[in-house]
Structure 1
């Protein structure tokens, strides 16, 4: 009554104000009751370290079943292959391949990988004498289709013309003045087309007076000439 007389409130306004005040009081009491402090139980002391199980591999499971895991020595990894800088090996693939030249392969690559990056051997070349599973070493040379016994120092030669369908590789240097197209085709890096160019040059110039004239044949560059020089004679 004093508030109504003091503030000049109507009965309805006074009733609404009373409801609001009561609701605020109830909300405040609920909030303080839920936020009251409670007791917390101290954690139990751990005397032993927690054992963390180690994940088992398939090999461990197999050993456990067969009983052969204990005391079995691991195989020796062996000597690592010779590697170049940056974990790569640089090899020279020449001879009867589609893309002869210098190729870089990751350490641990094999001769088969070198043949693959070189485009593979040309048709008709037999690779039975070439160990394609051998691990490559940095700086080596692989000559595909070279005559037997013509591998340079630090290099590997293998793969003559196979199947009995092609020419037989000569045992000594090939004569540029008397060799046929089939005999020239057995030389590394020389195919039927290049062999025919050599024969045409011989016919046009009256033969070869020196091995250096081989540079003038169409299709023979410095690199291919360096590969052929020890294998031919005038």
Structure 2
């Protein structure tokens, strides 16, 4: 029976160790590549999600809104907010819809709206006033509300003015007529912030 010499035994051990090292390296490298691919797939999914969110944000930014004042024969007169490209009928619906006495034949329900526009819904039998006559009568004030002569309903059409505040304004002007629009801030409940929201919509005559 032959035996390996000591030198041969050492050489065999070294070869076995090298084989184990190579096998271990291949195993680790294979797992690393697999993990890396999984990571890349996850990263691609996250990037795709962010791209979708950015597209949605851009779409929302493209949506523009306008403010329109609706008065007359509607159930909730006042300021309404609509998307750009909306029509008169859309503003009327947001203002509660037409009352039974509204003369819808005198308005174009299909007309597209623009920002800061005022829509007046006349009553059946109400005298129609042309745009030029309206400007002359209002002193080119573009339909602003005269807080010395307006009705309670007209006051309630102003943003932030409810029934209680409208009543206070009427009570105040009975005692002391308004000399300037700033005098409306003397009414309890109307501060600087509320005045800023209505000052472009009111006048004093």
Scaled by the length of structure 2, the TM-score of the pair is 0.42
Greater helix fraction, Structure 1 or Structure 2:
2
Larger Rg: 1
Scaled by the length of structure 1, the TM-score of the pair is 0.38
